[in-house]
Structure 1
Amino acid sequence: MSLHPETVQQIAKNHYQLDAVATVLNGYEEQNFLLQTAGGGQYIFKAAPGNVNPAFIQAQVTVLQQLAQTPVRDYFQHCLLNGEGAAVTFYAQGDAGYYVRILSFLEGHFWVEEKEKSPALYESLGRFLGAMDRALEGQYYTAAERTYEWDISRAADAEKNLHHIHDPEKRRIAAYFLLQFQTEVAPQLSSLRKACIHNDANDYNVLIQDGRVSGLIDFGDMVWSALINNLAVACTYAMLHTDDPVAVAAPIVKAYHRQCPLTPAETDLIYYLVAARLCISVTQSAEKASHHSDNTHHFLTEQPAWTLLFQLLQTNPIKAADAFRNACGFNPLIDANDDYAALLSGRKAHIGRNLSISYKKPLKIIKGALQYLYDDKGHTFIDCVNNVSHVGHCHPVVVKAMQRQIATLNTNTRYLNDAMMDYAKALTAKLPSRLSVCYFTNSGSEANDLAIRMARHFTGNKDVIVLDHAYHGTSTLAIEMSPYKFDGKGGGGQQPYIHKAVSPDLYRGAWQYGDADAGEKYAAAILKLLHELKQEHKGPAAFICETLLGVGGQIPLPEGYLENVYAHIRAFGGLCIADEVQVGFGRVGDAFWGFELQGVEPDMVVLGKPIGNGHPLAAVVVTEAIADAFNNGMEYFNTYGGNPVSMVTGQAVLKVIEEEAMQQHAQQVGAVLLEELKALMDKYEIIGDVRGHGLFVGAEFVKSRSTREPAVTEINHVVEQMKERGFLLSTDGPLYNVLKIKPPLVFSEQNARDMVAALDAVLRAEAFG
């Protein structure tokens, strides 16, 4: 039950001898009223519900009384005393009760109402906060040592409200930052300085007058917590509605430090503390919305809070920490002059020499955040190519599942384990019903190797048909069936039991775009190989190909291609293997698996890379008949394949894809990406072809569209320039002239538009026609 203004007026008159008119003001938990006397006097009436701790109400009074004795006294309200000389009056109304205070009125307008905030204003905020915290140094109030949801030190508790956030992208980002809080902040909490802090210098509590901070109201959020949290809260709200949040916060930190010296350890945490405060705010708003709250105060900063969280995600935390260190005169974190000479020398000495490094100026990546990567120089990159991190770098759901399981058990598969069965059932539920038996491995290479071994055993044949320019992994057998490797520099050449079929390339091949029968014609090349094998009294063990060609040039298969090929292979007694290592798990958007785009069902499916979001997990899924035949008395054992951590990881990836509607997202964002790239192709002659499905996209660069001569030097330069603009891309294809675009599925429509805009700028600057 709320107090009526007339009741408030009676309380003020009867207990404080104050004759005034009451007007309702907004409040989060307490009821607030403006009292105005006939003589022009103004006061604030506050009523806390009777179920709160009265000691905490008294603590708020005490802190104001103590601040009134310090140099910052003019920044704070003063408590009026009632007829009994007390600052707090208990008022009973029926079954309800209220703890009432009347406070003096501070002149000024709220921070949120100041449209043009000057650097001096930000410095004023930091200076004031530092002076306040110094004035309160050593003060302790027992009632302030409480469990409070708005205490940043308890940000992990906000996880319980994440499910109230219905937008998958927002929920994912909040969960990511809460994970970072537990990783980066929680281990240090016990060593941070503690104090009784105001804890709510938000944009509706900070007052401004004449271009400087003139006051701070409302100690209702006061708590015994880490001192740095007080500064972090103030920075959080000051950073709202700004284009460069770190640049705004740095002068606040600098001015605060001059009044109340900080430590490097404290400044290094500010980025994560700000993010944690925002997570508390947005999860609280979501929880209140779930109860249909009509209190507008519960949602005042919800939208700007989300905007700032998105901005922080795009901000390298090292850049933020370095800026705050610089503001305080501490040693920097970023060494701009480090050319990694020592690291490169060590790598050369102790790592295989033929392990390549991307980019002319190597990157030292120190942290991943969904679709973003952060280097040690403070730069943020949008990852447009790491399809291994399928659902995003450090996706919180996957990370937590792994953490829980590895803290519980990890062992081999000779023990019964529910995780293996649960995952096998979930995985096969995504596949055609005849593909029902799983063999788990650690990599796609190992899975492809096993698939060929099983095919040879099942058919009694050794010969394998592959596509030209294909790549299937790093094992000896995988290299043998990868023309990309055995025909390349340092390759050992083609083995007699491996047979190459022409790549069904609709851009460069014999049958191109517009030929409705291209798929059938390319499949005829495989039929020809099969007849040649038969003449040699041989049969195929298997045909294996990616369901969209990756290293082969980011090539979607022509319509009807696999339908015809699979029919030919089966007619000659072979098995059909779909290599979904780079393609599967919803990446293509229109389907969960690449083979579904062709309307076929393979006999075996090989899975890897995205299956574990970067965790070493892969699988071969086969029919009952193939599994029964392979069970010939020789045990199949894989020490790590199918271990509990891997199984839980795989299950978490499937869960995320489903719950965050990532397949649909890939379809929608992929459509935008393809549309934008094709529009770019209309502007620049150098882009000869754009192709793909969902977030499996390639753009082929040529010197001339008439000759289709590959523009290798040019595309390499473009990739380097895109890196300088914050977009990580790579090249692929047999001619090394295809721009490879296979980002994590959390890649957003805005990311796609920004990437294409940057590519447009690069091509325009280089005058590529």
Structure 2
Amino acid sequence: MIRRSLPTEPFDFLAAGELPAPSLGPDEAASILAALGGSGELTALGSQQDQNFLVSGPDGPSAVLKLANPSFPERDTLAQDAAAEQVARDCPELRVSTVLEAEGHPARAVLATSQGPVLARLLRYLPGGTFVERGWLAPSVAARMGAITGKVSRSLASFDHPGLERRLQWDLRESHGVVELLADWLGPERERVQRASLAAWSAVQAAGELPVQPGHFDLTDDNLVCAVDARLPDGIIDFGDVSRSWRVAELAITVSGLLHHSGGWAEPVQAAVRAFHAEQPLTRAEVDALWPLVVLRGAVLVASGRQQAAMDSDNDYARDALDREWRIFAAADAVPSAVVGGWLRAALGIAEPPLMVSGARLLADPPATLNLSVMSPVMDHGAWQEPGLADRLAAEAGAVAAAWAVPRLSEASECQPGAAQRAATVPTSITVWNHDELRAPWDGIARFDGDRLTLPGSPCDLILHGIAGRSGPVRAGEVLAQAGARVDVQLVRSGSEVPLLVAPDLAAGWLALTADPSGLLGVTPTEPLSSAAVLARRAQHVAEVQEHYYVDPPRIERGWRSLLIDTDARPYLDLVNNVASVGHAHPRLAAVANRRLRLLNTNSRFVYDALPAFAEALASRLPDGLDQVFFVNSGSEATDLAIRLAMAATGRRDIVALAEAYHGWTYASDAVSTSLADNPNALATRPDWVHTVPAPNSYRGRWRDADAWRYGPEAADRIRALAASGRPAAGFIAEAIQGNAGGILLPEGYLREVYAAVREGGGVTIADEVQVGLGRLGEWFWGFEQQGVVPDIVAVAKGLGNGHPVGAVITTAEIAESYRVGGYFFSSAGGSPLSCAIGSEVLAIIADEGLQANARQVGARLRAGLEALDSPWVGTVHGAGLYLGLELVRDNQRTPAPELTTELCERLRQLGVIMQATGDHGNVLKIKPPLVLTAQQADQFVTALARALADLG
């Protein structure tokens, strides 16, 4: 039956039972558009309950024609438009889809159609896109979503309108009733959805009083939009569900939209909730009700979506959403609400006090502690990778126990970097090996089931896993179980089930359901290592300008070869640490450092063998004539000294450097650093004695591809022009690969051309090998060898000490002697016995372990894998050996994609790969792992990168 007028009574979905959307044809929609004063081509858009068309003109999309569902009274639509206007006024930083005002025509109108009267209006079109089709959402995206949701909630708290009095299926106050009403549409999943709905509804009722207010109540990844080519949300569309409901429902609906994306939901959910809480503080009851409401939202989506798709078979939008809606529900239902609630309370800093349990001792004699944490010495030299390590150590030690809640590195042995899932490393029990008889801590009735014995208690049950026992009544102090090889002692809140090992991401929630059994065993509790506490201490006492990787960084406390390990016992593949050239925690370096510190460590004015031995080792790896060595502590000091040597040798002060280069942080090394990635004001703040020539970037510079040969003559002409102007260069400094620009190789013959021009004017040449030397390029031990030149001065550091502060400058006798015009040279720690011993050992390890050959072979394999990546985001691969750069672009015009690159690094971190961006545009992955990277690890990285790129699409 066709309606003759719009209803006047408030809409009640539970009374109506269904809500078919209007379905007018394109010709009729065009007539409506003309009646509103609009014009253009119409394209149908999806909608669950209304009908939408995109209006496009010669310059592209210009508006959205929205036909409201005729089941709603007119005041409902007026309320939606008024709410949008209020949010737009209160949040000017957001783009909001408000009603367009068409001159001479109504902004909205009720028009007669073939399906009865329809309220139509033209809404502002927001260029860009939504997030619903993105495979993975970065925590930064989720945080912005949570913040926007909080701002909208705060804005609409004071909103009032008669059109708010409506009873929608999307009002989570009605959610359980909606699921029951639509249960017949659920098919084979009916029992699961109804069971989850009932449990969640009970949890909401138990949470306490929830504030009610007006809200948008549909701020999902489908209605939060971002600008063209942007990655973060900045706009809001579709106010169709504006009504009154529980305030926390606004957040629950936003959170539900995060659950169907790839990559796990823990990080994005936590980011969104924290951001909302910062804008609109949550009560304790709201935090407790949040996840049950997410479950209910998922259940309503499934039930409503299946009804709509069946009832409106032509509604592609509803049909296409079915799988996504099921994934939302399934993800929400997969974890107990009590676990997520405890986890969220911990994340917001409102966690309950830990459960406390008292009783008689389980064991007559307390066991010793077996430390299985990341910091434990028993994990040294990669021992943590040995299967069955904990049991072997316990067999050797006797009666021992491993702590509750402290992540166990021994459980990470099977965890491969690049894996989507984090290993379960956090114990919810204390494991005891080689124990005596176990006695009851309190009176009760023991239940024995298989190898598990439960003794009920309050507030926790005692559960013993891995024992043989008996069922029946027991008194405190009576024997529960006989002596055995291993038992897990767990205290679990009555009525809960908690795995013995849980993954770190939700561990706080699982642990909130347990208590520490240390007191019952007579052992001293062990505090888990806190990442948040270290970060807070760093923020308090370390100058903020000393930045750290990542917004929410892992706490890294151990390394092994090409792996870094955080305090949650998660190994990461280290793809950025060229400091650790021969790998993290190398046993030979540990032994050398230990021995040297037990002998002597002093300054280089004393005479000892380590200093000339190290100098000889360096000189032997350089061309003849480069045999005079200065020892310093860092790459910055090395390049600073190299510049001062050039000035002393020539009696001049002008230095020529490449644009987009980074050479250090001391005065002179910073002066010749022009990388905008490291200093956005670099080009504007150079002293007058520094002259730059264009970065010879053959991919995105002035001369590209086959024309890149032009950079050399151009730079040479600039150097000759300086000399002709009366300011001949004292020196020219460059890396053979521009490291911080993204690992960009210089064009063939570039340094031959430039070195000739410098020397023609009496200047000297400086090779900055701090990042690219020591065999990292595979084919060449030194970067300058790739260009077929010999510099006058070489600066080297970073990987030379494998993390210990070691740097050196090597030059000719004549240039070295020229330094005397400024006095003598001395560095207190440069060239110390310890530094020299470590530096010599690093050079020996590179040779003994064939690491230059490894860089060549694994680097070639890695480069081939990167070049084979099938992604529109991949521009090109820079570099050589194990110094590579993957440049990310938006299009075939090579437009940089910095925001995507940042997200890619975050996604790789989630996949267990440490990676950072570099380059003046921040759009190049800087790939420079330890030289011990294996072929398998290179493949793991490429696999993880391919997945991450696909996830970001």
| Secondary structure at 1:373 match in 2 | strand
1:653 alignment partner in structure 2 = 842
1:506 maps to amino acid: S
Judge conservation of contact 1:542–1:569 (CA < 8 Å) in 2.
yes
Deviation of residue 328 (structure 1)?
A: 9.5
- Answering whether residue 696 of structure 2 is matched by residue 504 of structure 1, we say yes
Gaps of 5+ in 1: 1-133, 138-152, 154-174, 183-198, 203-222, 232-237, 263-314
Contact 2:738 2:744 (8 Å CA) reproduced: yes
Contact 2:563 2:584 in 1 (8 A): yes
Q: Quick check: which one's helix share is greater?
A: 1
| Distance (Å, rounded) in 2 between the aligned partners of 1:417 and 1:438 | 16
Q: 1:725 aligns with which of 911, 916, 919?
A: 911
Which position in structure 2 is the counterpart of 1:671?
860
What residue identity is the alignment partner of 1:394?
A
- TM-score, normalised to structure 2's length? 0.48
Paired residues for 1:131-210 under 5 Å: 179=381
* 1:195-222 per-position Cα deviation (integer Å, ceiling 9, x unaligned): xxxx9999xxxxxxxxxxxxxxxxxxxx
In structure 2, how many angstroms separate the alpha carbons of the residues matched to 1:629 and 1:381? Answer: 47
Change (3 A) 1:655 1:328: farther
In the alignment, the residues of structure 2 paired with residue 487 and residue 546 of structure 1 have an alpha-carbon distance, to the nearest angstrom, of: 18
Retained in 2: the 8 A contact 1:674–1:697?
yes
**Residue 484 in 1 paired to residue 655 in 2?**
no
Q: Specify the code of the residue in structure 2 equivalent to 1:402.
A: A
Change (3 A) 1:405 1:765: same
Q: 2:723 aligns with which of 524, 534, 542?
A: 534
CA displacement at 1:351 relative to structure 2: 1.5
Deviation, structure 1 residue 255: 7.2
Q: How far apart, in 2, do the equivalents of 1:503 and 1:458 lie? A: 26
Residue matched to 1:356: 547
Q: 1:258: Cα distance to partner?
A: 5.5
The question of whether the paired residues in 2 share the 8 Å contact of 1:423 and 1:647 is answered with yes
1:176–1:528 distance in 2 versus 1, CA, 3 Å: farther
Say if 2:573 and 2:914, in contact at 8 Å, map to a contact too. Answer: yes
CA pair 729-247 structure 1, distance change in 2 beyond 3 A = closer
Counterpart residue type for residue 703 of structure 1:
R
Are 1:334 and 1:377, in contact at CA under 8 Å, matched by a contact in 2?
A: no
Q: Tell whether the 8 Å contact from 2:558 to 2:566 is kept in structure 1 after alignment.
A: yes
Shift of 1:227: 1.9
Q: 1:494 aligns with which of 686, 691, 714?
A: 686
**Equivalent residues of 1:544, 1:577 under 8 A apart:** yes
**How big is the shift at 1:753?**
0.7
- Answering whether residue 628 of structure 2 is matched by residue 437 of structure 1, we say yes
Instruction: Report matched runs for 1:145-294 at 5 Å.
Output: 179=381, 226-227=397-398, 254=431, 256=433, 259=436
Name the amino acid aligned to 1:756. V
Q: Does 1:611 align with 2:797?
A: no
Q: Would you say 1:740 and 2:926 are equivalent positions? A: yes
Cα deviation code 1:132-186 (max 9, x no counterpart)? xx9xx9xxxxxxxxxxxxxxx9xxxxxxxxxxxxxxxxxxxxx99665789xxxx
Structure 2 CA distance for partners of 1:653 and 1:176, relative to 1, 3 Å: farther
Shift in Å, 1:491: 7.3
Could you say if the C-alpha distance between residues 176 and 632 of structure 1 is closer, same or farther in structure 2, counting changes exceeding 3 Å?
farther
State the secondary structure of the residue aligned to 2:685.
Answer: coil
Residue 660 of structure 2 aligns with which residue? 469
The CA distance in 2 between the partners of 1:574 and 1:393, in whole Å, is 40
Q: TM-score, normalised by structure 1?
A: 0.58
- Per the alignment, residue 136 of structure 2 pairs with none
1:62-73 correspondence runs (5 A): none
Alpha-carbon deviation of 1:334?
Answer: 4.3
Secondary structure (helix, strand or coil) at the match of 1:691 reads strand
User: Which residue is 1:572 aligned to?
Assistant: 761
Q: Deviations over 1:695-742 (max 9, x none)?
A: 00000001112x211111111001001001100000011111001110
1:765 corresponds to 2:936: no
**Which AA in structure 1 matches 2:888?**
F
Tell me the CA shift for residue 257 of structure 1: 5.7
* Structure 1 residues 465 and 333, CA gap change in structure 2 (3 angstroms): same
Determine if contact 1:546/1:579 at 8 Å carries over to the other structure: yes
Question: Which moved further from structure 2: 371-380 or 401-410?
Answer: 371-380
Q: Are the equivalent residues in 2 in contact too, given 1:384–1:728 (CA < 8 A)?
A: yes
Distance change >3 Å, CA 594–CA 709, structure 1 → 2: same
CA displacement at 1:655 relative to structure 2: 1.1
Q: Cα offset for 1:573?
A: 0.8
- Paired residue type of 2:609: D
Q: Output the amino acid matched with 2:933.
A: F
Asked if residue 447 in structure 1 is aligned to residue 634 in structure 2, the reply is no
Q: How many Å separate the matches in 2 of 1:200 and 1:469?
A: 50
Task: State the SS of the aligned residue for 2:917.
Answer: strand
Contact 1:250 1:327 in 2 (8 A): no
| Contact 2:425/2:569, CA 8 A, preserved across alignment | no
In the alignment, what sits opposite 1:127?
Answer: none
Cα–Cα, structure 1 residues 355 and 624, in superposed 2: closer, same or farther, change >3 Å?
same
The residue aligned with 1:555 is 744
Counterpart for residue 111 of structure 2: none
> What corresponds to 1:67 in structure 2?
none
Write the distance in 2 (CA, Å) between the matches of 1:656 and 1:460.
40
SS in 2 for 1:722: helix
Deviations 1:631-665 (A, max 9, x none): 34721111111110000000110111111110001
RMSD: 3.9
Which amino acid is 1:704 matched to? Answer: D
Q: 1 CA distance for matches of 2:916 and 2:586?
A: 23
The residue that corresponds to 1:30 in the other structure is: none
* Counterpart amino acid of residue 227 in structure 1: G
Contact 2:885/2:924 (<8 A) preserved: yes
Q: In 1, distance between residues paired with 2:527 and 2:851?
A: 36
Secondary structure of the residue that 2:730 maps to in structure 1?
Answer: strand
Would the aligned equivalents of 2:426 and 2:568 in 1 still touch at CA under 8 Å? no
* SS of aligned partner of 1:483: coil
Q: How many angstroms apart in 2 are the aligned matches of 1:550 and 1:488?
A: 17
Residue number in structure 1 paired with 2:818: 629
**Deviation per residue, 1:219-257 (Å, 9 max, x gap):** xxxx9x6326999xxxxxx99998999989999994746
Q: From the superposition, tell whether residues 527 and 725 of structure 1 become closer, same or farther in structure 2 (CA, over 3 Å).
A: same
Match of 1:700 among 884, 887, 894: 887
1:374-428 alpha-carbon deviations (Å, 9 max, x no partner): 1122222111101101111111111111111011101111111100001100111
CA contact (8 A) 1:334 1:378 kept: no
- In the alignment, which of 665, 685, 710 is matched to residue 896 of structure 2? 710
Which residue is equivalent to 1:373?
564
1:531–1:491 Cα change, 3 Å: closer
Higher relative contact order (CA 8 A, sep 6+): 1
Letter in 1 for 2:398: L
1:684 aligned partner? 871
Change (3 A) 1:461 1:490: closer
Please state if 1:390 is matched with 2:561. no
Distance 1:332 1:493, change over 3 A: same
Q: CA–CA distance in 1 between the matches of 2:839 and 2:711?
A: 36
Is the 1:611–1:650 contact (alpha carbons within 8 Å) kept by the matching residues of 2? yes
User: How much has 1:370 moved relative to structure 2?
Assistant: 1.6
1:435 to partner: Cα distance: 0.5
| 3-state SS of 2:717 partner | helix
- With over 3 angstroms needed to count, the CA separation of the structure-2 counterparts of 1:201 and 1:674, relative to structure 1, is closer
Q: Percent of pairs identical after alignment?
A: 35
**Is the CA contact (8 Å cut-off) linking 1:360 and 1:720 kept in structure 2?**
no
Other structure's SS at 1:592 match? coil
Which amino acid letter does the alignment assign opposite residue 494 of structure 1? Answer: R
